[in-house]
Structure 1
């Protein structure tokens, strides 16, 4: 059997990439610089290739290093998950969960759900990364995220993922109550409006943008892209921006009396909301429990709009 790298060698390699130099990486991991250098040299000897090269901006990946790095990340993530799963099996209330979440779930159902889950599992550690599937796909594939809840992207293959839950959600144009265009009945009447769109290069929001602006934006149209629902909320409520989102957003308790649907005759394309995780990776018991609770809550939240 070929000699295999040691875990500490892989961790050191990962740290050098993260910090950009052997000196900084050795300080971060409380090692001496010679020990870190020897670890990298031993790793390169075992593999028979050069992984890192010193340049004016610090240590950079070679061609072989760029091939090797994603595998290292997967190996270390899987090992951490395996250890965490053992700990969770021994004590279910403990463990770490990281998951991705698109804007509507983060804005609506997630705060109270996560708060309740944390109260039930006070020793758990939860990380939520907000964004669209196209932005978080790499983290899902590398095992940095346990699962994702949000809008499916037709450009992305689901072959390596298990779909735990999916539902079609009707979309509409949303404005504050009293907006000058609140009674508009067609997209033509919205020309010259101000819009706030999630920052997504592909997927459903790009489809919606093409639907609303089939000939491109007209003179006077203002379009701001962003990943912050709090900023979007302020633009909609205080600066007369329009927002495109699921009809379900109209029943979010703290905002439902402040916003309304613009009654245009055109029907916007529906979005498919999905809850997915990587098949090969599986889920820890604690992550599975949280995912099940999210699935149930999403089903209730969207039930009036299906």
Structure 2
């Protein structure tokens, strides 16, 4: 297997077809087809199935794709590291950021970073577990600023804690059960969460089993904060937000907090990266800019920033 052949497989998977991959790699469709055929001959297996609407990867293709992404990504990072050593840092930094960090500290962090590394292109993803973790695994994400997987042992990923906070149960203002004080009174409602409390980790005690409360009859998953908020505002669904997110979004989005007797799970925000893979100079620079911005936030005159910092425990 050769690197350009693995790059071809990645491009085909991302583009969904030969022509799209050719455009992405600035090559001819014939060259892409030849590279794919050579890769299939090398592994002695079919990697894609051609259809009238494009191509789909076989089970073998999907298995190889995971390794192909890692290898292509590592080669790109190697080039970026050499460029940095030559004094000409270039390339891309892909980061997932949890929503409340994006709403508070991200803009100033990006400003600082771009002043120090103006030739690095930034790419941001929603900082939710189902989006970030697969990208960390396949190397298409450099690091994730967000919530670790509940019950994670730290073998697969490296965690650098930033904040700890408690969580709150939220719904639209004027919700018919806004004064309920127990989880047990709310399990017949539909819940909208950005993670699955029953499947994220078999070892993790979720918010329902911890309080001997039945799991709600229906838990919907939203892999987008904006979708979750839109549903909360217009339905009687309920959700769990970390307190910093409540501070920055509750009034703005017309949400309320339930006065529960139960203490909901703590929410940790960490810088999460793949174990055994040192962060690039650009990654370290971005994290340094973020930490500087957070520390300066304690002297901020912004009421929103001060309220957010009062709702967390700083771990750096």
Q: TM range, normalised to the smaller chain?
A: 0.7 to 0.9
Is the CA contact 1:185–1:263 (under 8 Å) kept in the aligned structure 2? yes
In the alignment, the residues of structure 2 paired with residue 124 and residue 101 of structure 1 have an alpha-carbon distance, to the nearest angstrom, of 17
Shift of 1:189: 5.1
Q: Note if contact 1:176-1:236 (Cα within 8 Å) is conserved in structure 2.
A: yes
- 1:138-149 pair list within 5 angstroms: 138-149=134-145
Number of the residue aligned with 2:274: 278
Cα–Cα, structure 1 residues 67 and 242, in superposed 2: closer, same or farther, change >3 Å? closer
Q: For 2:95, what is the secondary structure of its paired residue?
A: strand
- Structure 1 Cα separation of the partners of residues 189 and 171 of structure 2: 11
Deviation string for 1:237-281 (max 9, x for gaps)? 565654321222343389479655432211112233322112332
Q: 279-288 or 250-259: which moved more?
A: 250-259
| SS of residue paired to 2:273 | strand
Corresponding residue number in structure 1 for 2:45: 50
| Aligned counterparts of 1:233 and 1:50: Cα–Cα separation in 2 | 45
Change (3 A) 1:254 1:118: farther
Compared CA separation, residues 14 and 194, structure 1 to 2 (3 A):
closer
Correspondence 1:265 to 2:261 = yes
The answer to whether the 8 Å contact 1:98/1:145 transfers is yes
Superposition RMSD in Å: 3.9
Aligned mates of 1:61, 1:175 — CA distance in 2: 41
Unaligned runs of 5+ in 2: 299-307
Of stretches 32-41 and 95-104 in structure 1, the one that deviates more from structure 2 is 32-41
- Which residue does the alignment assign to 2:182? 186
2:119 aligned residue: 123
The alignment covers a number of residue pairs equal to 298
Equivalent in the alignment of 2:147: 151
Counterpart check, 1:98 vs 2:94 = yes
Contact 2:127 2:144 in 1 (8 A): no
Q: How far apart, CA to CA, are the structure 2 residues paired with 1:52 and 1:192?
A: 46
- State the partner residue of 1:110: 106
Deviation at 1:147, TM superposition (A): 0.7
Please report how far the alpha carbon of residue 80 of structure 1 lies from its aligned counterpart in structure 2 after TM superposition: 0.7
- 2: distance between equivalents of 1:115 and 1:55? 45
- Structure 1 residues 159, 56: CA separation in 2 closer, same or farther (over 3 Å shift)? same
Matches within 5 A, 1:53-92: 54-56=49-51, 59-61=55-57, 64-91=60-87
Residue matched to 2:128: 132
Normalising by structure 2, report the TM-score: 0.73
TM-score by length of 1: 0.75
Q: Secondary structure at the match of 2:207?
A: helix
Report if aligned partners of 1:184, 1:263 keep a CA contact under 8 Å in 2. Answer: yes
Show CA shifts across 1:185-211 (max 9, x none).
Answer: 333555666644225363499923666
* Aligned residue in 1 for 2:301: none
Whether the 8 Å CA contact 2:191–2:216 is kept in 1: the answer is: no
- Aligned position for 1:246: 242
Kindly indicate whether the alpha-carbon contact (under 8 Å) linking 2:148 and 2:270 is maintained by their aligned counterparts in 1: yes
Distance 2:31 2:269 in 1: 49
Bigger CA radius of gyration: 1
CA contact (8 A) 2:184 2:214 kept: no
Tell me, what secondary structure is at the counterpart of 2:214?
coil
Q: Please tell me whether the aligned partners of residues 143 and 281 of structure 1 are also in contact (alpha carbons under 8 angstroms).
A: no
